[in-house]
Amino acid sequence: METPTRTALVPIADGSEEIEAVCLIDVLRRAGAVVTVASVESELAVTCSRGVRITADELIGACTGQRFDLIALPGGMPGAERLRDCAPLIALLRTQRAARRLYGAICAAPAVTLAPHGLLGTRATAHPNFMDRLAPAQALGQRVVVDDGIVTSRGPGTALEFALTLVELLFGADKRHAVAAPLVID
């Protein structure tokens, strides 16, 4: 049986956490998702939080009006703030939520990018340094939290688990296991 095509948007910014960004892009592509990497900056190339440069496929403005099965945000600072302040990205996320399509964020992004715009559910997690920015009843110390189509995770050390959870939600458990096996996760 052929795997259905799924589309994913991974927005990046100056200061994004490179482990999380690359892990999301790589794992989603291994699963067969058509991944668009979009810069929220004025140019395609961004400099991540540890100096790694990543070149996006397109600028975020080119994504406006497109439909994605998933929008997945890496964390990192000040990248999460730059994502938070990007009006076209926030509009895409609001549309994603209204359509009840999958989106997620890792590290600082749940607290810094999603929370200020009311884009979290009733349960979430974030990097330990940002948990105090989540509502106390909302904040869970779990590695990955799935809450009604919104997936959050803690940081670089949980990036593979986060990405594989997104794969499972997009494609099913069998695809998650097929992608995880050659990564020597289990």
Measure the N-to-C terminal CA separation of the chain; round to a whole number of Å: 25
Of 48, 63, 86, 107, catalytic: 107
- For residues 124 and 151, the answer to whether their CB atoms sit within 8 Å is no
The question of whether 48 is a catalytic residue gets the answer: no
Q: Which tokens hold the place of 179?
A: 């992608």
**Would you say 73 and 16 are in contact if contact means Cβ atoms under 8 Å apart?**
no
3-state secondary structure of 89: helix
163 - beta bridge partners?
A: none
Angstrom distance (rounded) from CA 103 to CA 73: 8
Match 């959870």 to its residue by tokens. Answer: 165
CA-to-CA distance for 121 and 137, rounded, in angstroms? 11
Kindly tell me the burial class for residue 70, based on how many C-beta atoms sit within 10 Å of its own C-beta (0-12, 13-18, 19 or more): buried
Residues annotated as catalytic are: 107
